[in-house]
Amino acid sequence: MVTIRQDILPGILPSTIDVDHVSKGLADSAIVKLTVSASANRIIALGIAYHPSSSGQVEFVSLANTDQVYIISFPNRRRLDANSQLALLLSASTGKASGDARRDPLQHTRLVGFGMAQTAVQVSHATQTSVSGVDLSLLCAPNTWEPCSPAEVAQLTLQREVNRWGIGKLWTGGDVNPERSVALQAWLAAWCVYPLEQIPCLISP
């Protein structure tokens, strides 16, 4: 576990976040912890972001809720077990592993991110698994041709001052630590969804 600094959402939010590292093969335990609060009465969103290697392949993925962040390493492009928690979460094929939607937290979990189409393509290529999620940049945009920047999404949804320059650096390479950047990208996405919990595209399977 490492601790990273966050200054993108100043004020009442914590200034440091603990980030755990797991391999792709051990990701299921992380997903159980991330989704433990999901229930039939509470839809939760997990932020997702990825970092490419120098060859363009996905090197690691970050999954986060508002309290926890995990970095999942992808050392190879082996296909995921279709019934693994990671595969079910990525593809939104929820309820299949347990056979009981009422007891399966993934039934009430949605992936969200910024630039979700590109994330889905890259992560799908790395895992050989379909990937589904909600693109916050388009969800908050006036039209599909003018996606909002992550900073604009944060300001619109959280209705508070945000560190727009600090948020922008997470995507432009201004932050020299790629793990911190990707962890905060996913964490920010999870926070931005809190005011949007009742939007149909987040609730519907």
Query: pLDDT digit string (tens) for 40-63?
Result: 556 778 999 999 888 888 899 999
Tokens at 116, concatenated: 């979700």
Identity of the residue numbered 135: D
pLDDT tens column, 76-133: 777 788 888 888 888 875 444 444 444 466 777 889 999 999 999 999 998 888 898 9
Structural domain 2-200, CATH architecture: 2-Layer Sandwich (3.30)
pLDDT tens digits for 140-171?
Answer: 887 778 888 999 999 888 878 899 999 999 99
Give the relative orientation of helices 150-158 and 178-193 as an angle to the nearest 10 degrees: 40
CA distance 35 to 28: 11
Distance from first CA to last CA of the chain, Å, rounded?
33
Q: DSSP character for 133?
A: -
Determine the pLDDT at residue 97: 43
Burial of 106 (0-12, 13-18, 19+ CB in 10 A): buried
pLDDT band at 39 (very low <50, low <70, confident <90, very high): low
